[in-house]
Structure 1
Amino acid sequence: MKASLRGSAAIVGVGHAGMGEAHGYTEMEILAQAANAAVADAGLQWRDIDGICTASVSSPMWVMSVIEYLGLKPGFIDGTMLGGSSFIAHLMPAMLALEAGLCQAVLICYGSTQRSAVMGRAQINAARRRLDPQPFEDPYQLFNPVSSYALAATRHMHQYGTTREQLAEVAVAARRWAQLNPEAFMRGPLSVDDVLAARMVSDPLTVRDCCLVTDGAGALVLVRADRARTLPQKPAYVLGQATASWHRQISAMPDLCVTAATESGRKAFEMAGYGPADMDQVQLYDAFTLNVLLFLEDLGFCAKGEGGDFVSGGGIAPGGHTVVNTNGGGLSCVHPGMYGIFLLIEAVRQLRGQCGARQQAQANLAVVHGNGGTLSSQATAVLGVADTL
């Protein structure tokens, strides 16, 4: 089945809206704006959309509300919620539905007004505890998710000698990419010293080690490969995809330095028939600076424990040895609660050659990796142009 699915579907339309600030629009309204942009980008009409995948932090029945708001009557529906990795994970069921003939065009979409909404961080955490209770951690009222990631960062530093300066290099690299992206929310100067001197949030992570809190919506359209070739945009074929999860609570994580990306990455690369060394670009879910080190290691770009050295000296910044998070990532571009869909949008635009000053001359293969919860769910996808099929 995996072999038959390789390259069987392609992303043919992408769009976003409300990036950074929604300017008074609701999360549903900016989702619809992004979806409209993606459908138009694909050269399709709304009547062509007969499949949908979406998820939300705020509503467990979000997919039905989106269907109602957009006026759809889809033959395929997926509302699976895995946190920020959800939209990359949605690729596989969407591909299966397209292969089975359940639908002809799938819309994957997300919208959030986390920055401009009245609800504050304390209220968000309280709502999360009601919808997603974690019995071994909630009684202690952790400042999650930050404290969980800080715990993993501390362990990585202890076990492998990773330094605060190396973590800061990740944030600095993201900002340098963001400075090439006019759509990025934060584009001002940022140095390693700035990251280290920033307000401490949860030791050892300062506010600059943590992702942005923004508004934003993103959407993409997936169709079968044979149809993709008839549409106006250059298709981004899904060559491989896999999702893995080993725990929910950080206290149940078997090893704080090894994530299920080791499984999702291996399976996605095997399905694609390519490996880390073949990738022209790497789009990683950087909710925290630590994430980039862990995922570079777990996906096979460097050995376990060598992530700090790998990113040092501008290794993943513009002009570095590995192209990582070209839009500025969740650390400097956009992060409206869940970031995974924006990884896919950036990868597709790079494969099309539409990224302006940050565009990579060699952009034929991309690995996209999403993370959800507290290193809880991992989803990996390998995208490629026609020549990589």
Structure 2
Amino acid sequence: MPVTVWETKAGGHVDVTERRLKPIYEALDTHNNKKAIQLADKLLEKQDLLCAKVLKALALLRLASPQTQCGLQPLVVMEAHPGLQATGARLCCVQEEMKPEYIVEIEVTVKDDPTNEEYMTHLFMAYVRLNEYKRQQQHQHQRQHQRMPPASRRCLDVDAQPKLRLYVMVLRQQNKHEAALTVLQGELSALWQDESEKEQLEREILWTLKRWPVINQITKRDLQTERVCSDDWGLYQLYFDSVFGLMEMQALSIATGDDAGDNVCDDDLDRDVLTAWKFVDSLVAKELEKKGAKLRGPFMARMELVNRSRQHGVGQHLADVAAPLQMFCEYYDLFGDQYCCYSDVDNYLHLMDDSQQPEFLTKLRSQAALSSSSDEAETIDRKEALNDQSFLS
């Protein structure tokens, strides 16, 4: 864990003491502990610095030196006002050695400076390493009620995201999905540097909690925006889960006369297969307007929607708009030269009636045939793909 903690003065300048400590920090961060001890000893000969003592203690601890066998307390005696560097470095020492009695020191430090996010993170990780699950939860609730000014966010430990990821994982293993969702959506969400990872975790937890209205809105938004690739098959699966989940909620509400399904009646929600078809079909139309390579996701999503509709016994609602033969022919027109074509549609070929299969085979043969007006290289690719994929078997 990097231990570098800088304390800047007015105007953003770093004082002389901090410049002298910098080589020791760099040696520790590169795991050159012997060099860190030598640099600390050299500095202590010139100046009695508490932070230098703490950093030397940390280096000795990492080397498993006999000097640390009796613990860290004899090595470093905390002063009344040790400063940010000395306190932060000492907390790193305490966390690495992590004996139960040392957790009191971290709690005292946090109590003295309850707004310091770095100290709070050290305390939480101490609870994690000691398997103090209840205290983890209490600590998290305390953090959620604290305001986090922008200046504090810039000074956070660079390890904040891995620690939060671990915390979310622990909460999910304990089936505390609501608490995990609060971490991802609350004040601590600002600590996540990888926004896509945070959103993926959030969607997984929402799916576990069956929050179909929220999932429906999120997936529709993401599938329509440029920042998320609309070829993400997982997003389509979540979207369809939400559509059929909303349908079940609405049916249950009607059957029981319960008002719990009122939140399903939002006009922005896709709560029937016909509305879902219109949404997916709009994505297909958007792809067809593009020049160049097309994304396969929207075209496969139409097949998946028809398949799921039949599985749920509502396939008749799409009878007038969804023509399996037309979907397969269009898909082959666009992606027939790709070797993934057969594996893509193999799971959906049963959607065609027996009477449609000969027509589909005729279409494939005509597309694979050499023509003077077609691109020869692409036509050869289609023929090879057709033969290898056993469409005609």
Q: TM-score range by the shorter chain?
A: under 0.3
**Higher fraction of strand:** 1
**Higher fraction of helix:** 2
Higher relative contact order (CA 8 A, sep 6+): 1
Q: Which has the larger radius of gyration?
A: 2
TM-score (norm 2): 0.22
TM-score (norm 1): 0.22
